[in-house]
Amino acid sequence: MTDSVETPEPREPRGEGSTGRRGGRRAKKGPLGRLARFYRQVIAELRKVVWPSRRQLTTYTTAVIVFVIVVICLLTVLDWGFSRTVEYVFG
């Protein structure tokens, strides 16, 4: 039995014709070219997003608003209780 270890293929040296970039499209140089590429990438990522339906959005929004109201009430009660305790102890 012979053990064979696969070795990676050697990379091509970067010469004058090689840009070192992966992908099909060559990027424009300069700040405007980079900005344009950034916006193209943002739009491409937004197309991958699974957007919620109107019903899901309403449910999620309602859940967040109810949660925030509950936390506000809890913090208000705790703040009131701590202030009364501090007044009793120090005041």
56, 64 contact by CB (below 8 A) = no
Q: Is residue 70 a part of any domain in this protein? A: yes
Rounded distance between C-alpha atoms, residue 40 and residue 46, angstroms: 10
Q: Is residue 13 a part of any domain in this protein? A: no
Q: Is residue 11 a part of any domain in this protein? A: no
- The total number of structural domains in the chain stands at 1
Q: Is residue 33 a part of any domain in this protein? A: no
Q: At a CB cut-off of 8 Å and minimum separation 6, what does 27 contact? A: 21, 33, 34, 37
More confident residue, 22 or 89: 89
Predicted local distance difference test score (pLDDT) of residue 42: 96
Predicted local distance difference test score (pLDDT) of residue 29: 79
More confident residue, 22 or 57: 57
Q: Is residue 72 a part of any domain in this protein? A: yes
What is the separation of C-alpha 58 from the centre of its chain, rounded to a whole number of angstroms? 22
Q: Is residue 81 a part of any domain in this protein? A: yes
Instruction: For residue range 41-91, list pLDDT tens digits in order.
Output: 999 999 999 999 999 999 999 999 999 999 999 999 999 999 999 999 998
List the domain range (segments joined by +) for residue 62.
52-91
Rounded distance between C-alpha atoms, residue 29 and residue 20, angstroms: 14
